[in-house]
Amino acid sequence: MSMEQWGDPVEVGDEPTRGQLPRLLVALVGIGLAFGAIFGVGSWLVGTFSQTEAGLCRITVAPCAELSVASVEELSGIALPPGTEVRSGYAQELGTLHEFRAEVVLPEGGLVTMSNAYEEIDALLDLPEAARDLREVRLWERPLSAGDGFSTAVTGTRDGRTIVAFDELYTPTS
């Protein structure tokens, strides 16, 4: 190929090219919006396909179903009296991690026997947020058969009603 086939050289001006910065910014914003949409939709889909009564709270944006009294009884090992309300609660199993937290309000005059599954302790623990304003507080601990973690409960009164707050987090050993 000879130089004659390429044509004559053309002078290029010293002026900078315009419009590159706005195009770059628009492209970066578009990429960010695309990633955000993919993450949001993916999180919602994973949560809806994996939804159980206990939900996937604090992991996805999918709404969590409330725990029933029967679920709290099963997870805590405690028989609750009729009329008990679950004020808040969730449970999840993520791989080998088991987590369960719940706050229940017993009906007026309702009694619960904690000693069937828990042992009363005198240790000063960090009280769960739900139990910080309770009166006549008693601390309970459930022995874990195997694994690392804790299983505690706090009982007390608020506005004349008995409150039980369960807090459990453990990883079983294999």
- pLDDT less than 50: residues of the chain: 48-55, 62-63
d(CA 11, CA 18): 18
d(CA 140, CA 129): 16
Q: Is residue 18 part of a domain?
A: no
Q: What is the pTM of this model?
A: 0.57
Query: pLDDT tens for residues 9-58?
Result: 777 766 666 778 888 899 999 999 999 999 888 776 655 444 444 445 55
Q: Is residue 48 part of a domain?
A: no
The token pair that represents 144 in the structure block: 């874990």
Q: Could you tell me the residue range of the domain that residue 87 belongs to?
A: 69-171
Q: Is residue 97 part of a domain?
A: yes
Q: Is residue 157 part of a domain?
A: yes
Q: Is residue 124 part of a domain?
A: yes
Q: Is residue 6 part of a domain?
A: no
State residue 62's pLDDT score: 46
Q: Mapped to the 3 state alphabet, what secondary structure does 98-156 carry?
A: EEEEEEEECCCCCCCCHHHCCEEECCCCCCCHHHCCCEEEEEEECCCCCCEEEEEEEEE
State residue 17's pLDDT score: 66
Query: What is the average pLDDT value for the chain, to the nearest integer?
Result: 76
The token pair that represents 103 in the structure block: 């706050």
Q: Is residue 29 part of a domain?
A: no
Q: Is residue 90 part of a domain?
A: yes
d(CA 29, CA 106): 52
How many residues are given for the chain? Answer: 174
| DSSP element (H, E) containing 10 | none
In total, how many domains does the chain have? 1
State residue 52's pLDDT score: 46
